A and B are shown apart, each in its own frame.
Chain A
Amino acid sequence: MDKCEDSQLYHPSIHQSSNPTIPFLVSWTRKHLLDIESLTADEIVTVLDTARAFKAVGERSIKKVPALRGKTVINLFVEPSTRTRISFELAEQRLSADIINFTAEASSLKKGETLKDTARNLEALNADFIVIRHSASGAPHFLSRVLNSSIINAGDGAHEHPTQALLDTFTIRERKGQIRGLKVTILGDILYSRVARSDIWALTKLGAEVTLCGPSTLVPRAFEQMGCRVTHNVDEAVREADIINLLRIQHERQRKSMFPSLNEYSSLFGLNAARLANTKPNALIMHPGPINRGVEIDSAIADCDRSLILEQVTNGLAVRMAVLFLVNGGKGPQEVAAG
């Protein structure tokens, strides 16, 4: 849906079929959000559509709704995070949930408790949702097998970061109208990036053509198996792109240096004015943050009007509200008797 259609959708005189004999499409029945890989395109679209309504809530003077009133959410951030944790926290508060924040620095995990024991202790507090960030891939999947709470993956190792991919696709769809047929280039450290993996799943499921680019040590050919193109020529990678999604060099996840220096990375792969001049004039720049100004992106480009970096932050809040709202759903029939 393009921007123009979007505004029509919000116009009160345009409304969808109200024929109650056609049951609403039951498009989200999951209890957890563990990854993008296992979602269908319809499920992804359901999250994006729901997020649009929650974005509107954020623009009101009263930005809070009672959807999760009385529910308890535990933010279990075993790996440090600032923006994702703050975004989830605010999303939970705007849904009226009760929140407990649990970070690795000041926790029993430092005293040798296993993840399972920590999580079971948290669940014994009757947590309804656990939002987990963990350095081990698969940690959220593990918790979903041993706990009764709804589990939301806020990033697991280099595996997936599903809410980031959902907010990225939301942002692209909002600005470009649709995902299908778009050329999206993801540039940077793909190998260690859970954002890249989730983005690739989400974008390819919705019909985008994804190109990966970066140093050959960080962008192995093996990613072609995920249905995207791999190139190590940055000028070629950005030339035809509708969206250029830059990724941060993940210092913390690299066992040893995969390229000689940040300066060399910047000159060979950083998005600078000269490279930007050779892109489509309506190509948009994204970055999941935190940005390293002067490394993967020139400072001026990060602040230019083609940069969606701050919109991504705003949309992340709406997407996380939508995810919490959807996984809160029960097992009963969706169609609500009128009245």
Chain B
Amino acid sequence: MPEAALILNSQAIQRALARIAHEIVERNEVSGEIALVGIQRGGVPMAHRLSTLLSGIWGQPVPTGALDVSMHRDDLDRRVAPNVQPTVLPFDVNGKTVVLVDDVLFSGRTIRAAMDALNDFGRPKCIELAVLVDRGHRELPIKADFVGKNLPTALNENVHVRLSESGGVDEVVLQRMD
């Protein structure tokens, strides 16, 4: 096994998400205009956790959806076709402030695809970005508005975000690929 280091444990992940939720509240005063959109697959459980936290703060449910970006990727003819996951946006994105949610921000290409995919559903008033881990190595001019942890990495390292929704425990692990 390649060596792996624990970056965030369960408590640290929950603290980071709570802080992100409060930052979203601070940035967006009008709660009724916010919607959360998790990017398949890692961003979806994270969006639901943020949704729960925000509902607690605002005292009202926060519309939350899931977005698959496979059809908007820019590397479709370079890789084996991705497994397309469902896109579910149970609200009108027009006029909303949409907070895109993903587990790891890396090249920025997924976020670029996500913004294109989102535009097929309407014209949000504003799109913000929340990620649990920003590992650097951006290939596009994209920056997160809310970051759980900035983690400088090497290109031969992988960041694994595991949330208990998919079984097991919450953890963020850095692994070197040899």
Interface residues of A (CB under 8 A from B): 9-13, 15-21, 24-29, 46, 49-50, 52-54, 56-57, 60, 62, 64-67, 71, 325-334, 336-339
Contacts and interface: CB of A to CB of B under 8 A. Distances in A.
A19 B166 contact: yes
Chain B's interface size range is: 35 or more
14 contacts: A12-B48, A12-B66, A15-B166, A18-B161, A18-B165, A28-B80, A54-B84, A56-B87, A325-B81, A330-B77, A332-B79, A336-B75, A339-B102, A339-B111
Contacts of B66: 12, 15
Contacts of A329: 76-77, 79-81
Contact of B108 (A15, A62, A336, A339): A339
A15 B160 CA distance: 17
Contacts of A64: 120
Contacts, number: 154
Interface stretch (B14-22, B24-32, B36-44, B53-61): B36-44
B106 A337 contact: yes
Contact of A339 (B65, B78, B81, B110): B110
A94 to B, nearest CB: 10
Interface in B81-138: 81-88, 90, 102-111, 116-117, 120-121, 135, 137
Nearest to B89: A12
Contacts of B161: 18, 20, 338
B103 A18 contact: yes
A66 B121 CA distance: 14
Given A18-B165, A53-B87, A339-B104, A331 B80 contact: yes
A334 B81 contact: yes
B85 A16 contact: yes
A330 B44 contact: no
Nearest to B36: A12
Given A20-B42, A65-B71, A339-B135, A53 B80 contact: no
A271 B163 CA distance: 54
Given A67-B76, A329-B80, A333-B80, A18 B163 contact: yes
B149 interface: no
Interface in B156-173: 158-163, 165-168
Contact of B85 (A53, A60, A338): A53
B44 A15 contact: yes
Given A328-B76, A338-B106, A18 B90 contact: no
Contacts of A333: 79-80
A56 B66 CA distance: 13
